[in-house]
Amino acid sequence: MSKRFQTVGSLLRPADLLVYKEQIEHREDIQYPFYDEFPGYEACEAAATAVVVQEQLEHGLTVLTDGEFSKSLWHLDFVWGFKGIERYIAEHGYFFRDLDGVSKYETRRDIGLKITAPLSGKNHHFIKIYQRLQALAQGHDTKLCVPSPSHIFGELSWSDNIGAPDAVYASTTELKQGLVQAYKEFVTDYAAAGGRILQFDDCLWQIFADDNPNSPFTGESIDHEAVNAMAAEFIDINNQVIDFGHSLGLKMWTHNCRGNYDSRNMGGGSYVKIANLFLKQLKYDRFFLEWDDERAGSLEALKVFQARPDTEIVLGLLSSKTRELDDEQRVLRMLDQAAAILGKDRLLLSHQCGFASCDCGNSLTEAEQWAKIDQGQRLALSYWGE
């Protein structure tokens, strides 16, 4: 067991739980958390969660999650739990880069979000989910993973929810205010329930990197002033909620990702290009960053953290997307490079993302998943001695 090895959050769902998740994907006439429509679903989820928490304990993990077994998608279940949101099946899903690196891969389509009333995060189902985790954790540290406010702001503001004659929010400014308030309501309830660590997951930073070939914000015709203003707004909306969480005594963490769906990714973009924005300005206590392949660019991006001595960095040098164990010499070499910039004491190790950001999970078995987690534990123990 090493306290220096961490998991991002999600773990592969068992087959009996996936039976329910696959039905949810194709139903538009149901309401989150869907228990009433599927007899046996809630009991199956609870039993599977109890098993996966025990497995985390047996494999020496020091910060536990519920494996995100309560989720179908890494971010949308949380939004479905807001008052004022209606879920629907869209004309298409999200598009990821396929494994050949060229063609597109379409995700599930139940991703539509319609704002029907002012948003509220009070009495959110995720509080019950967290209390279930607490009861199973045997006193160990626990964390809850939810999408960042800026990510949800992006998805909602780029939809047809804003500015229509019957829209709840007439402008993105109104949406921002409403969304921040909903998050603060949720964070208040989370702290009151005994939560101490809240992790915001985020996949949008890299669209602002001008070396990302898949970004809509690159090219000669782009209004860079408008793009920079949008990045600043994303940072501000997150920091408002981070500051609020800190005021309640929470540790506020983040995980950044370039997409993780069925072992596929969504794009590129190096950290160097966005370091002075998202790495330097976001007020998180701990950053989970992915460096499992060349898309993340140089570790030189870590230099912006030299002026933030209390910030911890979790290096996602291992891959949750592949079935094979990772190249240990590469991991140790990159740990040395990062330590030369920040020192060993500020660093931790993880896989670049969870093993199942969506319910289908990545293309590996549960046995292979735990083998990769055990490898991470061994590497961390050998490197840090703790």
My answer on whether omega of the bond before 33 falls inside 30° of 0, hence cis, is yes
Give residue-wise pLDDT tens across range 179-201.
999 999 999 999 999 999 999 99
Q: How many domains does the chain have?
A: 1
In a domain, 7, yes or no: no
* Rounded-to-integer distance, Cα 204 and Cα 227, Å: 13
Return the HEC string of 249-292. Answer: CCEEEEEECCCCECCEECCCCCHHHHHHHHHHHCCCCEEEEECC
In a domain, 9, yes or no: no
In a domain, 185, yes or no: yes
Tell me the C-alpha to C-alpha distance, in Å, between residue 58 and each of 26, 62, 385: 36, 10, 20
Between 220 and 379, residue with greater pLDDT:
379
Segment 18-46 mean pLDDT: 97
Tell me the C-alpha to C-alpha distance, in Å, between residue 253 and each of 256, 361, 372: 10, 23, 23
Range of 159's domain?
15-384
* Rounded-to-integer distance, Cα 193 and Cα 178, Å: 23
Q: Residue 29, class by beta-carbon neighbours within 10 Å (0-12 exposed, 13-18 middle, 19+ buried)?
A: exposed
The per-residue pLDDT for 385 is: 96
In a domain, 10, yes or no: no
Stretch (H or E) spanning 174: helix 172-192
In a domain, 4, yes or no: no
In a domain, 6, yes or no: no
Place 315 in a pLDDT band, splitting at 50, 70 and 90.
very high
The per-residue pLDDT for 122 is: 98
Beta bridge partners of 201: 147, 255
In a domain, 321, yes or no: yes
Place 218 in a pLDDT band, splitting at 50, 70 and 90.
low
Segment 70-97 mean pLDDT: 93
Place 219 in a pLDDT band, splitting at 50, 70 and 90.
low
253: domain CATH number is: 3.20.20.210
In a domain, 2, yes or no: no
